[in-house]
Amino acid sequence: MCRVCRVCVAALLLLAMRASCSLDIKLHDDEDEDEDAMFQTPGGDVRVRVSGRALVPGVRAQDWIASARVLLDGDKHVGFLRDDGSFTVSDVPSGSYVLEISSPTYRFQPVRVDITTTGKMRARVVNYIKTSEVIRLPYPLQMRCIGLHSYFIPRETWGWSDFLMNPMVLMMVLPLLIILLLPKVFNPSDPEMRREMEQSMNMLNSNQELPDVSELMTKFFSSPKSHGKAGGGARGHRGGAPSARGGASRRKMKD
Amino acid sequence: MAWLVVRLAISVSLLYTASAVFEDQVGKFDWRQQFIGKVRFALFDTHSQASKKLLVATDKNVFASLNSRTGDLFWRHVDKTGPEGHIDALLMYGQDAVVVVGNGRLLRSWETTVGGLKWETVLDTGSFQAAALVGVQDLVKYVAVLKKSAISLHDLSSGSQIWVENLPDSDSVQYQTIYSGGNGLLFVLGVVPNSHIVIVEYKIEDGEIMNKKSVEAAWMSSLESSCAVISSGILLCVDQITQSLYTLSLQSAEQTEMRQIHLQTLDLEVASGFRPVLTSTQPNPAQPPLSEFFLQLSPDHHILLQFKDGLIAPLRDFSPSYLAAFATSGERTVAAVMSPKNDTACSINLFSADTGRRHLDTTVIYHMDPNGGKPNRLYVHAFLKKDDSVGYRVMVQTEDLTLTFLQQPGRVVWMREEALADVVTMEMVDLPFTGTQAELEGEFGKKAAIQDGLLPMVLKRLSSQFILLQAWLAHLWKLFYDARQPRSSVKNEVTIDILSRDEFNLQKMMLMVTASGKLFGIDSKSGTILWKQYLENIQPNSVFKLIVQRTTAHFPHPPQCTLLIKHKDTGLGSLYVFNPIFGKKSQISVPALPRPVLQTLLLPVIDQDYAKVLLLIDDQYKVTAFPSTKNVLQQLQDTASSIFFYLVDSSQGKLSGFRLRKDLSTELIWEVVIPTEVQKIVAVKGKRANEHVHSQGRVMGDRSVLYKYLNPNLLAVITESTDTHQERSFVGIFLIDGVTGRIVHEAVQRKARGPVHFVHSENWVVYVYWNSKFRRNEFSVLELFEGAELYNSTVFSSLDRPHAPQVLQQSYIFPAPINTLEATLTEKGITSRHLLVGLPSGNILSLPKMFLDPRRPELVSEQSREENLIPYAPEMPIREEWFINYNQTVSSVRGIYTAPSGLESTCLVVAYGLDIYQTRVFPSKQFDVLKDDYDYILISSVLFGLFFATMISKRLAEVKLLNRAWR
């Protein structure tokens, strides 16, 4: 018992170590960042303005700009929106920043903005995993609203369709329907049909060890024989027929 | 493909952990209050009569528009924190407001109705001195900004620079103010302290220097504080040493020295040690200022004076008077003066500026809060009534940052507690029981009850049940009575007298300590302020520590909280003891603290009055106990050998552990030195004292148990490298046992820098740092395990733990910046934990701890699936459903406070920053109460249906049996 535990812990540790190692690899694998180097020296005297335009289609700018802000790397640098949706973030030193528009209602895709020490600028898609990957975006920035924030999850509501599509219900109802309807569709008194059915039954019941689902069902749902006799005599003739037959055929096979 | 599988697995696992808000829960148990901070500039929109706008700029770098009828925010813009977002000046003309930001770095113009930016210009560097609107021929067209060495003129409609000129001799002359009277000239006034005044005259069109003169003024040290421009370009200065007023005409070339007017000739005298203040008014920037002005001679003495034909004549003497302000409506300028009425109230009266005559029926009574501070600013909004008389409203700001808006005849229209914009620390305290609840509790608690015997206990039980029944009936009657009243007349006022603990202890008292030294008691359910207390004489940069010494559980002893107020520089502290429910100062004698306090320690030891003992350690390592009764000292002597504490000296990089001796002195046990040349200690955190861990270990896939390393004495120490170069900088973490000083674990994150946010709880530490190589935030989690066997399962002792814990670590990318980090807390610790992350956008993200599990496997195996481990993915997901505050964002969130409630599933959360947001979170959903969308109708209809069906079928069966019997 104890050895098992130890082995397990060892395995676990190994797993954890592997996880952390591979994590290290994952977090630091893209080494080609020579062109990144030019953005890395912070400071310098260059101070530029980042400008662009944010658009929420179908909504007047006045209705949303008052509650929105343009944020560069959190609130390191902040810009505000004009009533035509355009914005500038002034006085930004060189470096690489993630620009996002924070609005409590509308959602925007963030953009990475790189500013070189000479003041050149480019915009690209934010990729936190492969940080050196460059997919250029137009500059001045075009920020397009990609929908509303979906803060809420819908309540589970009770509906008939949900109830009926429930697997449990399906399992109960479908066989019931089959039992009730099948005898009406096929005419069991037709001798040809009867022979065919018998054949198919034999084919199906070739493996006797497995319990037969349909038989189980019929056992469950058809009323006990004593009851059946005492109850409606008329019903017993039609509804009871296939089950009696099935039972008979099985007895035959056993013999 | 593998990626897809991982994504799928994550999304599947999310189905079980999601703790989102349902849309119908909005506002049900959460609330938000928005604040602006200490008002530095406030301007009423006098553009139109019906305007309700009040523009304010505050010390929190907020520029906002308030509705002056309700006090609500129309809009609010929060600039970046720190001096770069500081608002230097606010000017308003018509619909536009011009703001100078960041020591004169930016000039912004705002459209005030919508709150949109009109234009923004970057100005040259140089420290900001003054800004003014400049008018030409009755039209305000420009704005002038004066810097230390340059002056620039900008167009008001587009922001474009018209001209910029360097100021002559700017290295010797301190230019401080500008003045323009609408005649095409712009005057820049500078001073060489204790020598002379320099006046430079610019032409507005092209910035040409028209004239430059210097005037002797040997007595003058600063223009800004002692001078004002009045009546068609007369510079007026006051000096308390010579007790004189000086006047100088700016335009005339003849006058080459200032004319001195002794205050004695006006029968006036400046109070000794008081710096007199001149207040003038220029209602229209395109026209010269009025010739009337206020002179403040002492803190409670103002005088209204008039300058006429070179002579100064007093119009009216206001003594005593606290505050005075001018206001203009149309062509008429009035002066409002606040004077004391009695000890608790002030009266504000209106006077016409040009004559000093009092307007009839204009008195507004302002009642001072006995627990508040003195009024220190007065903002007046004057307007013309229909009968052409002047009406007015006033906004009063007090020392404790309360804004009160008053209307005639003294009705408080609204009130804002702006001290709450800067909450420093907070606690949540249980509300007390009502009398009946306490009675019921007391029945079981008292020892005497056991001796009473059977019969008295039965009687007592019956009587308390009867009291409960009575209370319930009274409650029913109240409900019925309220229902009959029309809705409007039922007041939903919350007062402390009717507050009592609810069934699940979800409603608590929030104690908030603000930077200005004002304490608040707030009802957590509604956000109503139940009490407030302003502590006077608090140094502006004090640190506060709030300690709950006695909770409400010890009826009839009142609950007791202690606030340690410590001066940041000297370290000298004082204690303030109060009752957290009523906010009253306690009468308990407080120990004097003559030496700086280094550390505090709240012991689980209680005195005979059930107050926990607080130990204060001073800089000579002497310990003061509070309360320090005989009983406490005896207990301390008995337990002294097991009381340890630690001290952090970040300047020397030293952590040291001490043990208490019987005579309340201390001995050094251990010392850890982290060399300051390489790295500095940024933060040290232990675990929260009220935290419970329910499960000792984790059951793994093969049904064995991995036991957690639950060391209650563990300290997490975060260090940052002194070398800030991005290739060499690093963030270090040490886990140190606080009793023995043993370093349990250390880890280093290379190419990383702060700010580091971290949470230390249970057996894990989660910290966030900035990866400077890849320029992204990363989460790292450390988890400590004892292994498959527990060394000593009954009790944990730091002194007897021979095996080092196994440490697992994993890191993840977090795709957003972070402001603050905290973990949820529940009563018994059964509920799964979530991390609450405050984002700069103002959202609070509830991140399941499940995602920060160092055992998340790289490859999915049968066992990991059994354990419900999410496969490892480098990037942490952020889902909008996890934002617990939906669109109720908390601006510049600085802290999150979590407290357990009486329900295991529920954790109370308060996020504070500029705003305050209170809500409840259910990390594992509400498993212990019925969901609020529980379908009562369905369940009862099914029940009734079944009931009737059985009734009917029973009847039918009877009929059938009868029929059969007859057959």
Q: Write out the DSSP string of B800-859.
A: S--SPPEEEEEEEEESS--SEEEE---SSS-SPPEEEEE-TTS-EEEEEGGGS-TT--SS
Please state whether beta strands B364-367 and B820-823 pair in parallel, antiparallel, or not at all (unpaired).
Answer: unpaired
Which residue(s) pair with B920 in the sheet? B908
- The residues facing B202 across adjacent strands are B186, B209
Strand, helix or coil for residue B700: coil
A231 — pLDDT class (breaks 50, 70, 90):
very low
Would you say B158 and B119 are in contact if contact means Cβ atoms under 8 Å apart? Answer: yes
Say if residue B733's pLDDT is above 90.
yes
Judge contact between A9 and B706, C-beta under 8 A.
yes
Cβ contact, residue pair B106, A91, below 8 Å: yes
One-letter amino acid for residue A189 of the chain = S
Q: How many CB atoms lie within 10 A of CB B83?
A: 10
Q: How far is B85 from chain A (nearest CA, A)?
A: 9
Sheet holding B73-78, edge to edge: B39-44, B53-58, B62-67, B73-78
Q: In this complex, do A82 and B116 lie within 8 Å of one another by their Cβ atoms?
A: yes
Determine the average pLDDT of the residues in B181-203. Answer: 85
Choose among B599, B590, B593: nearest CA to B621: B599
Residue of B nearest to A86 (CA): B117
B479 burial via Cβ count (<10 Å: 0-12, 13-18, 19+) = exposed
**Token match 């459903």: residue?**
B881
What distance in Å separates the CA atoms of residue B173 and residue B149, rounded to the nearest whole number? Answer: 9
**What pLDDT is attached to residue B769?**
94
- B560-567 vs B573-578, strand pairing mode: antiparallel
Between chains, do B854 and A20 touch, taking CB under 8 Å as contact? yes
Minimum mean pLDDT range among A237-246, B103-112, B761-770, B793-802? A237-246
Which of B129, B51, B61 is CA-nearest to residue B92?
B51
Name the residue facing A16 among B787, B808, B933 (closest C-beta): B808
Calpha distance B107→B145 (Å, rounded): 9
Query: Cβ contacts (< 8 Å) between A91 and chain B: which residues?
Result: 84, 102, 105-106, 122
Chain B residues with CB-CB distance to A104 below 8 A: 842, 887-889
| pLDDT for res A239 | 39
Average pLDDT over residues B53-69: 91
| CA nearest to B350, candidates B376, B316, B401 | B316
Are B114 and A83 within 8 A, CB to CB?
yes
Residue A1, pLDDT above cutoff 60: no
The interaxial angle of helices A213-221 and A241-254, nearest 10 deg, is: 130
Least confident of A101-105, B274-278, B492-496: B492-496
Query: Which of B137-146, B449-458, B484-493 comes out lowest in average pLDDT?
Result: B484-493
Residues in chain A: 255
Residue B139, pLDDT > 60, answer yes
Q: Across-strand partners of B203?
A: B185
Q: Is B483 exposed, middle or buried (0-12, 13-18, 19+ CB in 10 A)?
A: exposed
Among partner residues A18, A40, A149, which is closest to B858 by beta-carbon distance?
A18
Query: How distant is the Cα of A44 from the closest Cα of chain B, in angstroms?
Result: 15
B156-187: per-residue pLDDT in tens?
Answer: 888 888 888 888 887 888 888 888 887 788 88
Residue of B nearest to A60 (CA): B114
Q: Which of B844, B855, B852, B853 is nearest to B897 (CA)?
A: B844
Arithmetic mean of pLDDT, B579-584: 88
Model ipTM value: 0.83
For residue range A174-187, what is the model confidence (pLDDT) as tens digits? 888 888 888 777 66
Share of chain B above pLDDT 90, in %: 28
CB contact (8 A) between residue A8 and residue B702: yes
B654-660: strand order across its sheet: B644-649, B654-660, B666-673
Cα A175 versus chain centre, distance? 32
Average pLDDT, rounded, for chain B? 86
* Nearest by CB: B840 against A5, A6, A71: A71
The DSSP bridge partners found for residue A141 are A52
Q: Is A86 near chain B, with CB under 8 Å?
A: no
Task: Tell me the C-alpha distance between B824 and B498, whole Å.
Answer: 29
CA distance A52 to B72: 31
Which residue matches tokens 């099935």? Answer: A246
| Record: contact B874-A129, CB cut-off 8 A | yes
Please report the pLDDT score of residue A252 as a whole number: 41
pLDDT confidence band for B331 (50 / 70 / 90): confident
Q: Is it the case that residue B809 has pLDDT exceeding 90?
A: yes
A78·B20 Cβ contact <8 A? no
Across the range B5-30, mean pLDDT stands at 63
Beta bridge partners of residue B313, listed in sequence order: B306
Task: Name which of A16, A40, A87 is nearest B854 (Cβ-Cβ).
Answer: A16
Q: Is residue A19 within 8 angstroms of chain B, CB to CB?
A: yes
pLDDT in tens, A21-44: 333 333 443 333 334 444 444 445
What pLDDT is attached to residue A211?
58
Cα B590 from chain centroid?
A: 28
Q: Say if A227 is an interface residue toward chain B (CB within 8 Å).
A: no
pLDDT confidence bin for B555, thresholds 50/70/90: confident
Angle at B83 between CA B81 and CA B89, to 5 degrees: 105
Residue B794 phi, psi (nearest 5): -85, -45
Which class for B905: exposed (0-12), middle (13-18), buried (19 or more C-beta within 10 A)? buried
Under DSSP, the state recorded for B876 is P
| pLDDT given at position A213 | 64
On chain A, the residues whose CB falls within 8 A of the CB of B20 are 151-153
Question: A69-72 and A86-102 as β-strands: parallel, antiparallel, unpaired?
Answer: antiparallel
CB under 8 Å to B45, separation ≥6 — which residues? B51, B52, B53, B54, B55, B92, B112
Q: What is the DSSP letter of B289?
A: P
When pLDDT is averaged across residues B434-461 and rounded to a whole number, the result is 68
Interchain pair A152, B21: CB under 8 A: yes
A155/B108 Cβ within 8 A = no
Nearest to A66 among B114, B842, B889 (CB): B114
- For the record, the structure tokens of B293 come out as 């002005």
> What's the token pair of residue B925?
């959903």
CA distances to B329, B469, B913 from B890, rounded to whole Å, are 37, 44, 7
Q: How do residues B873-905 score in pLDDT, each as one tens digit?
A: 999 988 888 999 888 999 989 999 999 998 999
The minimal CB distance from A23 to the residues B122, B810, B881 is found for B810
The least confident of A70-79, A200-209, B153-162, B620-629 is: A200-209
Looking at B115-226, which runs of residues are DSSP E strands? 116-122, 128-136, 139-147, 150-155, 161-166, 174-179, 185-192, 196-203, 209-216
- B29 compared with A250, residue with greater pLDDT: B29
* Chain position carrying tokens 């137009």: A138
pLDDT at B766 over 90: yes
pLDDT at B414: 92
List of chain A residues whose C-beta atoms are within 8 Å of the C-beta of residue B883: 149, 151
Which pairs count as long-range contacts for A58-63, CB under 8 Å and 24+ apart, including other chains?
A: A59/A106, A59/A145, A61/A85, A61/B116, A62/B114, A62/B116
One-letter amino acid at B19 equals S
pLDDT, position A209: 57
Secondary structure (3-state) at A57: coil
- Distance from C-alpha of A37 to C-alpha of A25, rounded to nearest angstrom: 21
Q: Do B938 and A128 touch (CB under 8 A)?
A: no
* β-sheet bridge partners, residue B507: none
CB–CB contact B883 A151 (8 Å): yes
pLDDT, residue A221, reads 65
Chain B contact for A59 (CB, 8 A cutoff): no
What is the pLDDT, as a whole number, of residue B777? 92
Helix or strand run (H / E) with residue A137: strand A136-137
DSSP conformational letter for B105 = T
Is the per-residue pLDDT at B241 higher than 60?
yes
Closest-CA distance of chain B to residue A45, Å: 12
Q: How far apart are CA B801 and CA B778, in angstroms?
A: 32
Residue B15 has pLDDT above 80, yes or no: no
pLDDT of residue B443: 62
Cβ within 8 Å, pair A83-B854: no
* B22–A91 CB contact, under 8 Å: no
Residue of B74, B105, B776 to mutate, interface with A, max A Cβ within 10 Å? B776
Omega before residue B712 within 30° of 0, cis: no
Contact: A158, B935; criterion CB under 8 Å: yes
Angle at B910 between CA B908 and CA B913, to 5 degrees: 170
Residue A242 has pLDDT above 80, yes or no: no
Name which of B114, B808, B858 is nearest A22 (Cβ-Cβ).
B858
- Residue B441 confidence class, pLDDT cut points 50, 70, 90: low
Percent of chain A with pLDDT over 70: 60
Using the structure block, give the residue that is written with the tokens 């007199």.
B276
Looking at beta carbons, which residues of chain B come within 8 Å of A107?
A: 880
Other Cβ atoms less than 10 A from the Cβ of B683: the count is: 18
Read off the pLDDT band of B487 (50, 70, 90): low
Strands B844-848 and B227-230: unpaired
The b/e string for B869-894 (b: 16+ C-beta within 10 A; e otherwise) is bbbbbbebeebbbbbbbbbbbbbbbb
- Alpha-carbon distance values, B36 to B42, B100, B324, B913 (Å): 12, 18, 24, 10
Among B140-149, B385-394, B438-447, B549-558, name the one with the lowest average pLDDT.
B438-447
Among B120, B707, B727, B870, most A C-beta atoms within 10 A, so best to mutate, is B120
pLDDT for res A247: 40
Mean per-residue pLDDT for B620-645?
Answer: 87
Chain B contacts in chain A segment 100-139 (CB below 8 A): 100, 102, 104-105, 107, 126, 128-129, 131
Q: What percent of chain A has pLDDT over 90?
A: 8
Indicate yes or no: CB of B855 within 8 angstroms of CB of A27.
Answer: no
Q: B8 or A94: whose pLDDT is higher? A: A94
The pLDDT of B685-691, averaged and rounded, is 89
Strands A141-148 and A43-55 come out as parallel
- Order across the sheet with B277-279: list the strands: B277-279, B292-298, B301-308, B311-318
CB–CB contact A152 B22 (8 Å): yes
Looking up tokens 């003054």, which residue turns up? B130
What is the structure's pLDDT at A232?
Answer: 39
Quick check: B523 and B509 in contact, CB under 8 A? yes
Beta-carbon contacts of residue B543 (< 8 Å; ≥ 6 apart): B424, B565, B566, B567, B568
